[in-house]
């Protein structure tokens, strides 16, 4: 696996040539991962779409619903990008789309990941201020400031 060279450890990459798995086993693993991703696609689109519909159209517009509306839209965006990665897995990690599309999808996923993390932190901070400083929250927590 690794070779020791003056105190440094170098790990060889695991590819089809030096993997212990047979190509058929790797292909089955890729197929299973692609099928798992593909089954999450309708669930994610329907679930996040329902969240967006309920939060955006059926509930009162509050600061909390605004945070969760943005979080659901982040999750829906990632869910809509799943088919590209399913194709990538089906083709044994060969990207058939353009280099620009590769960079765009990775940028979208990275921005979405950071947005989700920041929104979850903001929701936690908002919950903290609501419970610990309820009077201040009532007077200063508005939709326009959110």
From CA 115, how far away is CA 108, in angstroms rounded? 10
Read off the pLDDT of each residue in 95-107 and give the average, rounded to a whole number.
94
pLDDT digits (tens, 9 = 90+) for 17-40: 555 666 777 788 888 888 888 888
Q: What local confidence, expressed as pLDDT, does residue 138 receive?
A: 86
Question: For the whole prediction, is pTM greater than 0.95?
Answer: no
For residue 16, CA distances in Å to 19, 21, 26, 28, 85 come to: 5, 8, 8, 13, 20
pLDDT at residue number 14: 52
Mean of pLDDT values over 92-120: 93
pLDDT band at residue 56 using 50, 70 and 90 as cut-offs: confident
Write down the CATH number for the domain with range 16-140. Answer: 1.20.1070.10
**In this structure, are residues 91 and 31 in contact, taking their beta carbons and an 8 Å threshold?**
no
**pLDDT more than 90, % of the chain:** 51
Listed as own residue / partner, the contacts of 88-96 with beta carbons closer than 8 Å and 24 or more positions apart are 89/30, 89/31, 89/33, 89/34, 89/37, 90/30, 90/31, 90/34, 92/27, 92/30, 93/30
DSSP letter, residue 97: S
**Domain segments of the chain as ranges:** 16-140
Which pLDDT does position 84 carry in this prediction? 93
């Amino acid at each position: 696996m690794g070779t020791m060279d003056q105190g440094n450890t170098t790990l060889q990459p695991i590819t089809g040539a030096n993997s212990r798995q047979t190509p058929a086993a790797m292909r089955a693993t890729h197929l299973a991962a692609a099928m798992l991703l593909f089954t999450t696609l309708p669930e994610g689109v329907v679930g996040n779409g329902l969240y967006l519909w309920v939060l955006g159209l059926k509930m009162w517009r509050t600061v909390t619903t605004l945070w969760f509306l943005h979080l659901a839209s982040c999750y829906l965006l990632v869910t809509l990008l799943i088919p590209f990665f399913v194709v990538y897995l089906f083709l044994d990690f060969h990207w058939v789309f353009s280099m620009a599309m590769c960079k765009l999808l990775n940028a979208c996923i990275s921005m979405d990941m950071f947005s989700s993390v920041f929104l979850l932190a903001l929701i936690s901070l908002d919950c903290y201020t609501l419970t610990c400083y309820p009077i201040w929250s009532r007077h200063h927590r508005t939709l326009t400031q959110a």
